[in-house]
Amino acid sequence: MTPGLRKLALIAHITFSVGWLGAVAGGLALTVAGLTSQDAQTVRAAYLALELTARSVIVPLSLASLLTGLIQSLGTEWGLFRHYWVVFKLLITVLATILLLVHLQAISYMADVAAGTALSSTDFRGLRMDLVLKASLAVLALLVATTLSVYKPRGMTRYGWHKQDEQRKVSRL
């Protein structure tokens, strides 16, 4: 990639990734409100907003973060499988995206229930607590990914060492 394109790709990746983290944090706040609020209107609003946020913000941002991350790694010398920190970030992103898509069903279900009836503090408590737990874990996972992005801890994979040897041989010719 040209330097200009690299910067653009980097800006896009940072924007989508940190935006994803922020949106998930907002989602966490909504799940906590849905679980703990004593006001029926607030609980209803929280789950409706959670579904809207998940479908229209969190999912697109997660997919955009994954895509721009792939472009960043494959379009630069970092590569996708050469450095452990990139591999871990990829795993975190892919896993978080898959789990998000799987849990959309539960989120939509809670939104449908909340829209149709006033939830008491004990209704669907297990599911509501689980939404809080999953949102918390998602925030944690994305914080780990962000930390890896900044620190870029040392460590090349076997594939990375192999590619590096290849490049050195080529540069000597």
Partner 1 sequence: MANQSPYAGSNGSTPRWVKVFGIIALVLVLLFVILHLTGNSPFGPSSHTPPMEQGVQ
List of residues contacting partner 1 (CB under 8 A): 1, 6-7, 9-10, 13, 72, 76-78, 82-84, 88, 91, 102-103, 105-106, 109, 113, 117-118, 120, 122-127, 129-131, 133-134, 149, 152-156, 158, 160-161, 164
| Nearest distance from C-beta of residue 57 to partner 1, angstroms | 20
- Cα separation, 37 vs 169, in Å, equals 64
- Cα separation, 72 vs 67, in Å, equals 9
- Cα separation, 74 vs 81, in Å, equals 9
Return phi, psi of residue 83, to 5°. -120, 140
| Nearest distance from C-beta of residue 128 to partner 1, angstroms | 8
Find out whether 84 and 157 touch, Cβ atoms under 8 Å.
yes
Considering the complex, state which of residue 39 and residue 77 has its C-beta at the smaller distance from partner 1. 77
Considering the complex, state which of residue 52 and residue 74 has its C-beta at the smaller distance from partner 1. 74
